[in-house]
Structure 1
């Protein structure tokens, strides 16, 4: 197994149990006609979510740190470079939960409850993603980081971002590439050699798809992302 494969498997072992626990917390709030106010629901959900998310966020960060060090040693032969795990704050989680909480209060359904739990899961996943990004920023031999898909297929938005390859060195250069939709299985990998890095074949394939999509969009007068979506759906 590759270092990336091991990392992804370890990440799932952390995320799946916490996702189930988050759903158990939020499931009672999907019942129509609940007597609690939005503020009461938000306070209760945040109080229940925070310890679960905070611990899992730290665990995904620790796992990402181990993966970064292993990848760095395998690619460069160098020892680890000092950097800290990505931090997380209760207020940040509250901010991410605000919109799905409002949606659940307006529409207490299974789908809205799952959306709320999904927003918290994205914060758990962010522990690993941000830790690797922090490592790249602190590492003088890292060329950047790349986005890779780990679930077998990706949506048009993710394919577009994968097609950019290892062009990201910090949060400013990443821009929208720090965005991850619900259920997104994209990971962040450090790049020490542009000719050889985890997910390079993905990057090259996605780049070809994006070139074809932009060419078709120019010919048809359409949106390139819609052309890419059509190409992916036809495969």
Structure 2
């Protein structure tokens, strides 16, 4: 995962239409030595405007806001400010909301009832280029990913086995590493890293970043204690 430059703090935008909750989150985030809240939004439209104005490292978006939902706001922020990482914060422990936010460009999903430490950890993970999914939802997502489409009772799909190096490369890609960063961490050339990545994707029939994320979740590669750093 990407490291925070010395002496700097992660810039965070908070968007939630519940003022008391939003202020509480702001106090929590601001109390961290490596974070600062640069803006607060009361709705999705304001979140999009403030994201473009402040260019935070992370935008924490409530999924349900009255003027514009979190998914639409995420799509617009992702299109206008692709460098801003997106983290969904919601009371909905629902796979449909999770999938929609991931498709909209979110890199993390935290349920509001989770402990405060989980939110702070999720912000750090997402800010550093990783992906975070609330543990309460990981099991259901895993079950959906590994079963055949359209048949909830079907057995898990068998996948070709990756070589040790292919798995190492794909794990790092799932954590948000670039080909150059993967090569540096594994002590191989960029072309070699690209070869192993292409080989792994072909074996697993994966095509997109979302496909890699789903596979990584299914394999349990994205736990915080599994951080490659």
| Shared fold (TM-score, shorter chain, > 0.5) | no
Q: Which has the higher strand share?
A: 2
Pair member with larger Rg = 1
Kindly indicate whether structure 1 or structure 2 has the higher relative contact order, using CA contacts under 8 Å at least 6 residues apart.
Answer: 1
Q: Which has the higher helix share?
A: 1
